[in-house]
């Protein structure tokens, strides 16, 4: 087994590390886009009455549609209908972001609706504008209280990214499967891929939780966990 590990894993360190880099890049961009779309959908649903049905429809579509279907839909249907995306990387980013944005929108909504109404009323009483209330009162508390759910969704993005190989994005899973299909030795290669995904998700979760905990203590919200 050690010989096989040297032959099929160590000898292919370059492609595997390239796959890790692609996975990290697509997940980072997709998660940032998902955050932006999730915040937008949440705010439209809560505060923009004319656009509320559109926001609800978007959220429910993203949550109810499998990410695999979304990947194929965005990659093969959107170019025919809208003329974009022009690359599989962009298609993967959009599909992963759509999938997570629906769940993040509901996470943000539950966080906003869970805030004590007295805080908003007190802020209005001292003359704060709705924009100031959102920026200074709502956003910090929602971000910190919802941090565990947000971190969990980040991990979901990484796990879902294993499917982007079906549209030929050379991520970690794509590179691992290419090696397996070349040598027909899955044990060492796929075990290594699983270990790398574990390390990526564990590192992200640990780092995000430590940052969130630091800010909770800074703003006196540690007891709200």
pLDDT digits (tens, 9 = 90+) for 118-131: 777 788 788 888 77
Cα separation, 182 vs 138, whole angstroms: 53
Cα separation, 136 vs 122, whole angstroms: 13
Model confidence at 224, pLDDT cuts 50, 70, 90, reads very low
Q: What is the pTM of this model?
A: 0.84
Q: Greatest CA separation found in the chain? A: 72
Q: Is the pLDDT of residue 201 over 50?
A: yes
Structural domains of the chain ordered from first start:
2-224 (1.10.3720.10)
Q: Is the pLDDT of residue 181 over 60?
A: yes
Helix ranges (DSSP H) in 65-185: 67-72, 78-82, 88-113, 117-125, 130-133, 139-145, 147-160, 172-183
Cα separation, 183 vs 130, whole angstroms: 61
Cα separation, 174 vs 186, whole angstroms: 13
């Amino acid at each position: 087994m050690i010989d096989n590990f040297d032959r099929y894993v160590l000898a292919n360190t370059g492609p595997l590390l390239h796959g890790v880099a692609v996975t990290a890049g697509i997940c980072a961009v997709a998660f940032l886009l998902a955050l932006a779309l999730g915040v937008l959908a949440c705010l439209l649903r809560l505060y923009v009455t004319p656009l509320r049905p559109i926001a609800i429809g978007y959220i429910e579509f993203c949550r109810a549609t499998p990410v695999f279907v979304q990947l194929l839909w965005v990659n093969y249907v959107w170019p025919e209908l809208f003329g974009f995306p022009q690359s599989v990387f962009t298609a993967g980013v959009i599909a992963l972001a759509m999938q997570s944005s629906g769940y993040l929108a509901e996470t943000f909504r539950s966080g906003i609706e869970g805030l004590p109404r007295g805080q908003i009323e007190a802020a209005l009483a001292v003359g704060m504008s709705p924009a100031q209330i959102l920026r200074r009162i709502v956003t910090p508390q929602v971000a910190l209280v919802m941090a565990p759910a947000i971190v969990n969704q980040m991990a979901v993005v990484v796990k879902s990214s294993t499917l982007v190989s079906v549209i030929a994005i050379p991520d970690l899973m794509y590179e691992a499967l290419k090696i397996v299909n070349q040598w027909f030795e899955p044990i060492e290669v796929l075990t290594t891929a699983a270990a790398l995904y574990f390390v990526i998700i564990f590192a992200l979760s640990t780092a995000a939780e430590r940052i969130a905990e630091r800010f909770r203590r800074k703003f006196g919200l540690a007891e709200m966990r």
